[in-house]
Amino acid sequence: MKTLRFILGDQLSQNISSLRDCDKSNDIILMCEVMAEATYVKHHKKKIAFLFSAMRHFAEELEAQGHHVRYIKLDDEHNSCSFTGEVERAIKIHTIEQIIVTYPGEYRVLQDMLSWGKRFGMPVEIRSDDRFLCDPDEFVVWAEGRKQLRMEYFYREMRKKHAVLMNDDGPEGGQWNYDAENRKPPKEGLTIPATYHSEPDAITQEVMSLVAERFNDHFGDLEPFHFAVTRDQALIALRQFIEQRLSQFGDYQDAMIEGEPWMYHSHISFYLNCGLLLPLECVQAAEQAYTDQKAPLNAVEGFIRQIIGWREYMRGIYWLKMPDYAKQNFFDANRKLPGFYWTAKTKMNCLHHCVKETRQNAYAHHIQRLMVLGNFALIAGIDPTHVNAWFLIVYADAYEWVELPNVSGMILFADGGYLASKPYAAGGSYINKMSDYCKNCDYKVKQKTGPDACPFNYLYWDFLVRNRDRLASNHRLGMMYKTYDRMGDDKKLAIEQDSKQFLGSLYDQKI
């Protein structure tokens, strides 16, 4: 039976389930660059270039192994501009009898795939994506009967299942989680190694020219471009992290320094999320570093938790709660996204640098995303639809399965606490503690109200006041409401007035 095996741009793994049992003499592998996927949101230029280049390199590797690859470039004159259109073209040209795909990463793509059987009158087999360590059906079983789903308990089950950092039946070192040791603020004299750099080859240069021509109005800087675009390069990037940055990752994973966007983070989410790296090989590389006494337990455990805990948990939540999860808006937030999320033109130095570096790199580390960019969107009451679209656009590692639960659940508390136990709202003091941004800011972080006060300070309290009817029963916020209630009337009025004035000028480039 002649089979069409359709590979998505985030499924660039030689052992992807849709390629298993592939008959090189008979089957057709379809890969395609389509305008619909590049523009359903206007993805960062660097994100598009990264994925198109990685796809083209992967197709070359498959062809070198003797596979029959049908690769449709974006500028192919007959390109139909959609996945469904390209599948239909391939069926007609190659007299296909069945289609095999791997479970996609986005709900909307799955709906398209589910329609193909009826549309094309042939069997469509959707195989599990076993690059992940927890199948969506397995997550459903774990979640069943639980009033609240907490990542920590899921993470422990994943550690046991895959025998990671285990000492007999207990966790290595006697604790499951060393997060309390991973919150050190930045200090003077840190030497931060450069992230992985690779010079663009001919394939990447061709893609960059295409992106510059076709997507010139999209957000972000296309150059310099230094991402890994092959599995061999991604493995070097992983090894470089393990050898040069993992040992310091734990201590400083929450720290932010002006002009140091990469810090000690791994920057391998680009490669994990598109398939160039596999979760267990990254976990095992970190565990080996601990065994070899090249990295401390708090760093290794923290890194591993991000992969087999948080990453798998996000995917489980996504498939458990879609499609309704995309509509969640617990606080009825309705403000538009301010222009400085695109331009970086704001007097708030922390936001300026995080947006500027996002524009340059299609990357920001998790605390920049959560406690600066996300925190502001939360306390300013920005509509989750706009915030989700922005995060999906600007980061090269963003796919809806990982972006949506992180933004709606973790950052914006838009699900009302299904994912997180409290909103991750904070005033300027947190940013001041964990970064050096406040030193060069036009606003004064220690001033709580008034025209020179850090806007995070009064917006934090205003957020709590605006949403008191929704949050008062949250036991983790009880102390903060007691603190607010002890404030004098003058201070409460100043918070209200400053917040009203600031939010009223939110779309003014001068703030």
Listed by start position, the domains of the chain span: 3-127, 136-193+245-321, 340-504
Three-state SS string across 121-188, please?
CCCEEEECCCCCCCCHHHHHHHHCCCCCCCHHHHHHHHHHHHCCCEECCEEHHHCCCCHHHCCCCCCC
**Nearest CA-CA partner of 409 in 396, 394, 421:** 421
First CA to last CA across the chain, in angstroms?
Answer: 63
Q: Over range 485-508, report the average pLDDT.
A: 96
From residue 251, alpha-carbon distances to 178, 344, 357 in Å are: 10, 29, 22
pLDDT at 149: 86
Show Cβ contacts of residue 206 under 8 Å, excluding neighbours closer than 6 positions: none
Q: What is the mean pLDDT of residues 32-47?
A: 97
Mean pLDDT score across all residues of the chain: 96
Model-level pTM? 0.96
- Whether 300 and 246 have beta carbons less than 8 Å apart is answered as yes
Instruction: Let me know: does 118 contact 106? Beta carbons within 8 Å.
Output: no
Tokens at residue 358, please?
Answer: 């996002």
pLDDT (tens digit per residue) in 249-277: 999 999 999 999 999 999 999 999 999 99
Quickly state the pLDDT bin for 397 (edges 50, 70, 90): very high
Extract the tokens encoding 408. Answer: 């709606």
- What is residue 169's predicted lDDT score, i.e. its pLDDT? 86
Contact in structure between 403 and 381 (CB atoms under 8 Å): no
**In which residue are the tokens 């139909």 written?**
80
Express each pLDDT in 210-257 by its tens digit.
999 999 999 999 999 999 999 999 999 999 999 999 999 999 999 999
Give residue 72's pLDDT band: very low, low, confident or very high (50, 70, 90): very high
Work out whether strand 166-167 and strand 98-102 pair parallel, antiparallel, or are unpaired: unpaired
Give tens-digit pLDDT for 320-332.
Answer: 999 999 999 999 9
Residue 156: pLDDT band with limits 50, 70, 90: very high
pLDDT in tens, 79-132: 999 999 999 999 999 999 999 999 999 999 999 999 999 999 999 999 999 999
- Residue 378 confidence (pLDDT) above 90: yes
The pLDDT, as a whole number, for residue 510 is 72
Provide, rounded to the nearest whole percent, the portion of the chain with pLDDT above 90: 96
Distance CA 133, CA 490 (A): 54
Would you state the pLDDT for residue 349?
Answer: 98
Q: What is the pLDDT of residue 442?
A: 97
* Pick from 13-17, 181-185, 400-404, 458-462: least confident: 181-185
As a dihedral over the C-alpha atoms of residue 67, residue 236, residue 306, residue 191, rounded to 10 degrees, the angle is -160
- Tell me if 136-193+245-321 shares its fold with 340-504: no
- Helix H, strand E, coil C: the string for 238-252 is HHHHHHHCHHHHHHH
Evaluate whether the domain defined by 136-193+245-321 bears CATH number 3.40.50.12780.
Answer: no
Residue 290's identity, in one-letter code, is Y
DSSP codes of every residue in 223-280: -S-----SHHHHHHHHHHHHHHTHHHHHHHTT-B-TT-SSTT----HHHHHHTSS-HH
pLDDT at position 146? 86
**Are the C-beta atoms of 204 and 46 separated by less than 8 Å?**
no
Residue 408 · residue 415 · CB < 8 Å: yes
* CATH code of the domain occupying 340-504: 1.10.579.10
CA 479 to chain centroid: 32
Give the DSSP letter of residue 445. Answer: T
pLDDT attached to residue 148:
79
pLDDT in tens, 41-59: 999 999 999 999 999 999 9
What is the distance between the alpha carbons of residues 418 and 23, in angstroms, rounded to a whole number?
Answer: 45
CATH classification code of 3-127: 3.40.50.620
State how far the Cα of 1 lies from the Cα of 460, in Å rounded to an integer.
62
CA dihedral sign, ordered 217, 220, 225, 229: negative
SS3 content of the chain, % helix, strand, coil (to 5): 50, 5, 40
